Structure 1
């Protein structure tokens, strides 16, 4: 979720909203805070505006400037609304459709999932009116973040304290993933080049930047998948914080990492540019410049894609890539069939804008039935969506 409205009500627990804003922003969300007037007695709007890097909404309009806080626009903008702390008073208003302040007006305008984290004393929480309001809100489709059990502001001990900010973020993240098309799916992605050592300072490598693989991993994670990214040496970073990253250097290390992960995944997308050959012997010391010529004996690396294809279980999806310079389709189909792939992503260095290092790519997807889908030149992020859509179709039947 990128756009989140945080509603803050008048409760002693409002002080926790500062931490909540920071955690949401850290997770990559764009946060807009809307406060009730009473909430400003517990925490200042300036604090939340500074942490969220957005102005805080309190009133419908500012009397001195006439500036209007458009509650309908806010409700349409948000991917999720979190009301934390949610007081008994605000819960009652929400349950009965009252909107005498900006916060409740935004709630009634929201088209997104709405989460509420109750915060009140034990007797208020247990009162039949509050219980009925909560039941009614849940019947509307709103999602309650259960209150905790512990010491309350009154000195009583029991249920009613607002969930901790870390618990709220984890709860919302888990709930939102349930609605995503790849929720519960585990996917392995490889990216980048491999470096095959010649001596302690030199290696054989290639020009892969890792951009395509990282874009695929980010797209899969945004669709709810549990992604493990095995990457060779690259300066790329993931946008999605949930991705588990395993850094490797050589083809042998990448093979070992993939074999450890592969049995437990639903799909593997092998976009790394793995070396086909590696030095037969690695010099222990730096090779000194002596003769006019230097010969290095090479040996084949283990074919990772073929190895996984041989181990592929029923229902697993395996995707390979083919970067070709001649006889593109013929070579790609041969690789598709020999390595037991579900589909292969072909790109040609003869196509302008395709290949390594750049921010664009032009691909053709060929599946196991030899159905061919050609795509125009696109950004690598857009290409990643096309590839992930194909994987999703196969995983979901």
Structure 2
């Protein structure tokens, strides 16, 4: 690990800068006839540069070896018991047992998760403060006119889970699939509605994509939570709702609503009889993902150490079993893959929101 860091281009550049600085001095001395001093200065430059490089490598190596040197905090930007909080606590339990240091979860709710993210960026960049991040953090810059962070401020350490969504309609609806819903909507122009929870969320974006693709129009109704919105579907007062499997599947199993499509690329194992939107000729795939993030500037060896712990936790039965019971798919990634998904999510959101005519909000 230390040797690899020592061979990185940054270290070579440091040596080059040091040599050039001393070359300038040596050339001044040559004008006075000091050729021996040139060799001495160059040797001093090389020694100093190598010594500096060794010091940097040793310092970084020591930071990784000493990690963690104090309790670790995992910030969660949403309430306890939610899809961000539950996995955070499962991971904290596994990490604490493995590392021998307390790992605590702290909920800092509000502003679509941005309060917790802002707190992360205010802490030392040493890996002892982490964030249970999600796709929401990657798409917030596409939703809000002003955010208090840049995408490059965040380093995704690993993804931990992903989830797809179900399209729910009332049991009284004449629609049993997307084609049937489109026919129902066209027979009742402007009369059907859909539920949305949070501006720019999947509950708003997927219906608006569907409207544009199918050539229909619905009215958005805002709710404070997905649960209350789904209860309106059950009561036949809401015609269309995009909901997480953890909330929709129990209602489907209880025959309190119908699920006419999934937003997944393939059929979901927990609901194999429900076709995807793609299968029904509507090219929409929508997923949400969650992960563990750190602030940029955290030493690479520390990021690798955290990634190792998160991957081990996510791959454990203690994490997978309770998480996958809710219809969520557990899975960890490498640092590189997490970074790629983070950037792709942000870019895709920016493009999609422009396509559906979404206006950023204050």
* TM-score normalised per structure 1: 0.22
Q: Which has the higher strand share?
A: 1
* TM-score normalised per structure 2: 0.24
Structure with higher RCO (Cα < 8 A, 6+ apart): 2
